[in-house]
Amino acid sequence: MAIMIPSPIPTKASEGEKKLYQILRDQLDDNFYVWYEPMLNSRRPDFIILGANLGLLVIEVKGWYSNQIRQADTNTFEIVSVKDDVEGVTRQASPLRQANNYLDQLLKELPKYRILQQQQGQYQGKVAFPIGLGVIMPNITRKKAAEINVDRILPEPKVVYRDEFLNWQNLSSENLCDRLRQMFTKADFNFESLTLDQISTIKGVLNPEMVIRDKPAKTTSVRGDFCPLPDDKILITLDSKQENLARKIREGHRIFFGVSGSGKTFLLLARAKLILNNNPEAQVLIVCFNVSLASYLRSVIKNSVAADQQNRIIVENFHEWAKIVTGKSLSPRKGYDYNEDVGQETLKVLAQKQSQKWDAILVDEAHTFLPIWFRCCVQALKDPENGDLMIVADGSQSLYKRDNFTWKAVGINAQGHTISKQFDLDKNYRNTQEILSAAWTMLNHSAPEDKVSETDDITFPIVLPSQAQRSGTRPQVYVTGSSLTQEQVVTEQIQELLNSGDYQPEDIAVIYRDKNQMNLFQQCLTKANVSFYWVSEDRKSKRNYSQSRPGVRLISSLSSLGLEFKAVFIIWMENFALCSDSSDGSILARRQLYVSMTRAQELLKLFICQENALIRELKNDGKFDFIFL
């Protein structure tokens, strides 16, 4: 069964489109992607089909009847239609011309990525796989087309008429693929099967709003001999389930609960891009708690959102947004909750009509918010009751003590609009199975009142992770005997990763809970010529953080929330010693450690200079390899 996007097909689709959708879904296998009405530079072809062994095919479906075609040539069709007993004639582009216009756009964009180019020969630099077009005429037979002289304008085999189309549902997958190949100008185009990196990049070109990031190409990104250049990139996109969910989200208040690494943030960013695509005048606010996360999101948007849209999407952490709204910075008052004060003052200004209002507000890492902050978000919408408010959260990453509340109490209509397990937000795409399993032990040892739950009446339920999508090496715990030895060992291991050629400095993060020893550690890195960026040094360094900022990241466990790295070193584990008791502080410490561990995509190493109750607990869990130095 082919991967269909969206799933299911919208009810507004024509009968012919619905029939083709069903045939492609049922007759093609799961190596095929099929998009219905994807957006290509403000244009929407009816279907695009992508197959590793087929290539890329654009298909237009025209539900005209023969008696509706008054006049036709290779460029334009005059179509008669009747509405309210009044006959009208419209001039429409020829279906083949329309599909060819889409094709021309793709042929401009696809070769921008060298992994999609032919690497040698007379066609070097051209697209390395077949790319073609076809037309389906579900209501006109081949005979009728000949009678009205349309068959010469819409010739077979690029065009499929009704009598053939009705038989497609009886074709085998192989025979249907053969028929689709006949639509290509060169049906005998010889090419190597597309790799996963090539398919991901093609998907990113087709759907730029679904792009998560780019990454350097590898020798395996193209079959055969391929030597990547420093600027060669691969586009990484949401997977098909995440993309389908992003396209299904509708206006109104929507709340998404999902595990760490399930793609909640990327889902939020995709939603923001779709809003901008669908409404050229929309103003979108993305708000979160962490300064470093806001900076990271701004850098992602800069690299993945069209330049003419970037001024319509603003990203701020809550306190900076509050400063913009109120026009001032509030100072803490003795005996008062500073965060509550900021919320109250912001809400007061937002109640005034002259304050800026937004078409959509998207809240990332919402479990870090105070109740009154959500009231501010609702009040900041142009339409508070029905406006586009998207909230993503994970109760297992609640790093701060917050008062309990209900969604209704803060003005959010959450009933029936919460989404979690049914859309695979319980699946972890970031971590390996080994890293996720080890990290989850931090929460399983929590106090009884902090145990995992999926109860609907909990404001921030903890979604149990069902599985990670990849496997890898087990996390390692290094017991070093002294702090200085610990810092030296971490530095040496970072050097080894950088020398391997598999990691760039930006792929590596050193996460800590207490920065008291940071100066000595930085001296070790400097002496070893390891470039670094201290993300959590101060507010300015957090605000200047970006994807492209060079250097190994030095970041606190609190500031790491929402971020991810290929390799993570958690240093000075003795500062998480509270994890071994059952106090409120222990619960928050465990969550901090869980968040820190789940930042790692591939490699996780933990360092401690002495044995304690926490280390004994980790030993008993059996999820780590221990190295004593």
Question: Which whole number is the average pLDDT over 292-314?
Answer: 89
The alpha carbon dihedral of 127, 40, 37, 283 has a sign of positive
Identify the pLDDT of residue 419.
Answer: 54
Taking the C-alpha atoms of residue 48 and residue 133, their distance in angstroms, rounded to an integer, is 9
130-186, pLDDT tens digit by residue?
999 999 999 999 999 999 999 999 999 999 999 999 999 999 999 999 999 999 988
Name residues whose C-beta falls within 8 Å of residue 66's C-beta, 6 or more positions apart in sequence.
139, 140, 144, 145, 147, 148, 150
Identify the pLDDT of residue 448.
Answer: 41
Q: Is 431 exposed, middle or buried (0-12, 13-18, 19+ CB in 10 A)?
A: buried
**In the chain, % of residues over pLDDT 90:** 59
pLDDT at 453 over 70: no
Identify the pLDDT of residue 462.
Answer: 64
Identify the pLDDT of residue 380.
Answer: 96
pLDDT at 484 over 80: no
* Span of 33-47, 289-303, 423-437, 533-547 with lowest mean pLDDT: 423-437
Identify the pLDDT of residue 417.
Answer: 55
Taking the C-alpha atoms of residue 47 and residue 595, their distance in angstroms, rounded to an integer, is 41
Identify the pLDDT of residue 571.
Answer: 95
DSSP for residue 110: G
Q: Contact, 25 vs 52, CB < 8 A?
A: no
Which band of pLDDT confidence, cut at 50, 70 and 90, is reported for residue 326? very high
Q: What are the structure tokens assigned to 499, written together?
A: 């020398």
Which band of pLDDT confidence, cut at 50, 70 and 90, is reported for residue 393? confident
Q: Contact, 552 vs 526, CB < 8 A?
A: no
Question: Which whole number is the average pLDDT over 588-604?
Answer: 91
* Span of 70-79, 82-91, 468-477 with lowest mean pLDDT: 82-91
444: nearest Cα among 396, 404, 479:
396
pLDDT at 532 over 60: yes
Instruction: Report which listed range, 284-293, 396-405, 430-439, is most confident.
Output: 284-293
pLDDT at 331 over 80: yes
- Rounded to 10°, the helix 433-444/613-621 angle is 130
Averaged pLDDT score across all residues of the chain: 88
pLDDT at 567 over 80: yes
Question: Which whole number is the average pLDDT over 28-46?
Answer: 89
Give SS3 for 34: strand
Question: Which whole number is the average pLDDT over 276-287?
Answer: 91
Taking the C-alpha atoms of residue 196 and residue 175, their distance in angstroms, rounded to an integer, is 24
| Residue scoring higher pLDDT (275 or 398) | 275
pTM summary value: 0.84
Residue 493, beta-bridge partner list = none
400: nearest Cα among 285, 573, 557:
557
Phi, psi at residue 491, to the nearest 5°? -60, -45
Instruction: Report which listed range, 120-134, 262-276, 407-421, 526-540, is most confident.
Output: 526-540
Which band of pLDDT confidence, cut at 50, 70 and 90, is reported for residue 428? confident
* Span of 216-230, 365-379, 409-423 with lowest mean pLDDT: 409-423
Which ranges of 419-473 does DSSP label H, i.e. alpha helix? 433-444
pLDDT at 565 over 60: yes
Taking the C-alpha atoms of residue 39 and residue 247, their distance in angstroms, rounded to an integer, is 12
Taking the C-alpha atoms of residue 273 and residue 22, their distance in angstroms, rounded to an integer, is 28
489-510, pLDDT tens digit by residue?
999 999 999 999 889 999 999 9
pLDDT at 456 over 50: no
- Rounded to 10°, the helix 264-278/240-248 angle is 50
Identify the pLDDT of residue 100.
Answer: 93
Q: What are the structure tokens assigned to 440, written together?
A: 């989850």
**In the chain, % of residues over pLDDT 70:** 93
